[in-house]
Amino acid sequence: MTEGTLVYDDDCGFCKWWVNYFAQRSDIGTVGFSDLSDDQRDRLPENYEECAHFLTDDTVYSCGAAIEEAFAVADVPPGSRDIVSFLRQFEDYEELREEAYSAVAERRGTLGQFISKEEVEG
């Protein structure tokens, strides 16, 4: 049983590397944009291909919140759930999280030259 599903751009080697990182360290399921089921696609926002998503039974986390939730569920680093709960108390945290996500996402082509994966193993 998975603790959630990380939805990612399966045309992106950098994205595949991160998804593989989580898959090897947890029971997180993974699915690329090209392999989404109709049910999964229906749960995502209209412009879902603009960022990653993390699906649980009850919630859809998108962009920075998706990666944050993946770290928390995978417990990387140990205590991540507590760290995330603590950070969410601060008013400016969400904006900082999303800016950090966007900064990395905008540079994923360049970052993929150094950290990349062809296939997800998990």
- List pLDDT tens digits, range 14-25: 999 999 999 898
3-state helix, strand, coil in the chain (%, to 5): 50, 10, 40
b or e along 45-60 (b: 16 or more beta carbons within 10 Å of the residue's beta carbon)? eeebeebbbbbeeeeb
With 0.75 as the threshold, say if the pTM is over it. yes
- List pLDDT tens digits, range 28-84: 999 999 999 999 999 999 999 999 999 999 999 999 999 999 999 999 999 999 999
CA distance 104 to 85: 23
Q: At what angle do helices 64-74 and 80-87 cross, to 10 degrees?
A: 140
Position 117, amino acid: K
Locate 18 and state its tokens. Answer: 């991160």
